[in-house]
Structure 1
Amino acid sequence: MLEDYINEKISEARELMQNDTDKALKIYDELLEIEPDNINALNGKGSALMKVNKYDEANEYFDKSLSICENSSAFLNKGIIFKHLKENEQAIFYFDKACEINPNLENIITLLKNEITTSTDTINLNEFNDEASELIKKGIELKNESKLWDSLEAFLKAIEADSTCESEVNRLIDEIKNTFEKEFIYNDEEFDMDNKIDRIKMQAIRSLVKENDPSKTLTLMNIVLEVDKNDLNTLNHKGGVLFIFNEYQKAIDCFDKCLSIDKCYYCALFNKGIVLRIMNKLPEALSCFDELLKMPQYSNKVKPYHLEILTKLNQNPIP
């Protein structure tokens, strides 16, 4: 059936979005030739265009989607586009529209709206010494320019310059960490809802994505790992949750366990690279991304991280 074919191709395109946006775009183009008013294909192409920073074109596809039927996905993505363009009132308008249609988006939309309201106006810089204040301002400017690693470095230096700013600056650091956590890669997995362990795994993922409750997620994942300590998908997810809790070494231990089971498990290798970069372990992080670059299907995802670390190492060589 045509509907089954289209749904299958959309799932394929969504999976390709992680590593090969060009191929995903080609699939969406093919689908839109067959069914020009397919909302999922329109939103999918818009999302793929966002991945390659073609925001104006992406916006047109979300507008086309909304002209057919109001839907939360198009509203949410339009909000993200206007947030990126720093048109904050428009962004908040679209975020609110998305939440009206789908209240389950409330947690993620709250995070996105909080990112919009973060500015020097929300922090009383007069409370800190001059060096820390300048570093905080610089960090926020870099964050708004999407130079997240440089922003993170500025915030950490601000804390070193004046420890009294730590509480305020950690809030800004957490927002950057949330951005990186969204970059983590997880394998899509088919769940057998007649299987008790699969039901627990699905509940764990739901508690993280929809309920924004990482503590509950961790508890459920530990239950799964008591039954099967080598469950790759669960170990990888657990590493991501431990990252949220700032348990960096424990997160890496989870990713290493994945890689001891399957040395080519690219999800864990990529996630480990991000955590090592957060820990400022640049050569170790680079080694992870070097390995991933040997797999052409992941190069688009990996190259920006690889280049950032190489640039950093060239500026500040390790003695």
Structure 2
Amino acid sequence: MTSNQAKKLYQKGIELLSYGKSDEAVNYFREAVESDPLCMEAQLELGYLLGSMENYEEALKCFDDAVRLEKNFPGLFGKGMCLFFMEDYEKSLEAFLDAQGYGENEDLWYYLGSLNLIHSGNYEGAINCFDIALSIDEDFVEAWNDCGTAYSILEDDENALVCFEEALNIDPDYKQAIYNMGATLADMGRYSESLMYLDRILEKEPDNFKALFYKGNVLYFMEKEEEAIEYFTKALEIDKNQAELWNYLGYVQFSLGQNHEAVESFKEAIKINKDYETAHINLGNVYMDLGKDSLALSCFEKVLEISSDNEEAIKILSDLGHHNRRL
């Protein structure tokens, strides 16, 4: 086929895409690329369409082929996005930085912020990138939410709330921001307000594990222990392989004097994560309350095997009149 025929196939793909017929459009873009590998437009359009279908490996090949023809912003940015979703963060960053040499947009700054947030742990850098993305598009809901997440990690709850509120002003049903509002308000001790947001999630998704877990925590801090256990139990029905959840459940059971149930919960936490210091300590405390000092001793000695400088375990062992070899 000639390049003119390839362009006709490309134009047919664009037409189908405008009607929402993505699967058919992909076939036309593929034919265009096969007939003329130098058709840059088809390479790029095929890459972005395959990426939207989560076919990242084939999409990456399209962008690599396009960049070999000519280095440009769409090709390098598309390559960076594919690598990002394939969790090859180092190469993704390289591609995005290369793309910066040819242009920029709000999406580029958003993904640079995301890499700082989830890959390098540079939270201040993430906030800076999200701010630039928002200066280009002030209605970028994901950027507002993720900027709030970075502030939360930095324990700047006031700025986090501002970001989550901005996200919800743009999209009142944006689930991540609703959850994050609930979690942040809980961290600030504003429990009643927190429950309003967590309940909004659970009204739409009764089996949302994170919302059930966090609501259990909030209810415990509101001294509603029985209700907290109810929500922890609901969360466990969804996912039993969560050591932290078993530990929280055991802690609340212990606070209610349900010592034998607490023992079983802490044991489940340790079964999932044998080096879970807090669960070993909590189990030891329950054993002490039950008068089983020898079992308690084993728990605290295990803590010192995991972390030889754990002050709580050292103090309790000293109080029990025992001296671990590491002391």
With the shorter chain as reference, the TM-score category is 0.3 to 0.5
The higher-RCO structure (CA 8 Å, 6+ apart) is: 1
> Greater Rg, structure 1 or structure 2?
2
- What TM-score, normalized to structure 2? 0.40
